[in-house]
C-alpha cells in the first residue's frame, strides 16, 4: 500500500508541474499550437475543466485561475495520502 501512495504522490507532483509549465506556455501565443502544449492540455483538462466550469459561474474575468485552484486541490490530495 505504501508503494501505491508514493506512486500517486509522484503522479500528483508531475501533474502539478505540467499545469505550471502549461500555464507559462499559454502566455506565448505561438506555443498554444504546438504538439507539446496539446499533450499537456489533454493531461490537465480533466482536472482543470470542471474547476473552470464551476468558477465561470461566479467569476467571468479575463484571468483563468483554474490552474491555481487545481494545484491547491492536488496539494490537498497529496497531503491526505502521505
For residue 8 the three cell numbers come to 500517486
Share of the chain above pLDDT 90, in %: 79
Residue 1, pLDDT score: 67
Say if CB 74 and CB 12 are below 8 A apart.
Answer: yes
Interval 11-31: pLDDT, tens: 999 999 999 999 999 999 899
Say if CB 42 and CB 22 are below 8 A apart.
Answer: no
For residue 3 the three cell numbers come to 508503494
Q: How many domains does the chain have?
A: 1
Q: How far apart are CA 49 and CA 65, in angstroms?
A: 11
Residue 59, pLDDT score: 82
Interval 30-79: pLDDT, tens: 999 999 999 999 999 999 999 999 998 888 888 889 999 999 999 999 99
Domain limits for position 29: 2-81
For residue 9 the three cell numbers come to 504522490
Amino acid at each position: 500500500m505504501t508503494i501505491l501512495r508514493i506512486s500517486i504522490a509522484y503522479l500528483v507532483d508531475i501533474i502539478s508541474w505540467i499545469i505550471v509549465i502549461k500555464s507559462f506556455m499559454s502566455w506565448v501565443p505561438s506555443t498554444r499550437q504546438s504538439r507539446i502544449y496539446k499533450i499537456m492540455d489533454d493531461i490537465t483538462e480533466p482536472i482543470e475543466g470542471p474547476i473552470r466550469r464551476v468558477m465561470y459561474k461566479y467569476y467571468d474575468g479575463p484571468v483563468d485561475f483554474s490552474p491555481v485552484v487545481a494545484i491547491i486541490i492536488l496539494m490537498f490530495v497529496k497531503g491526505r495520502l502521505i
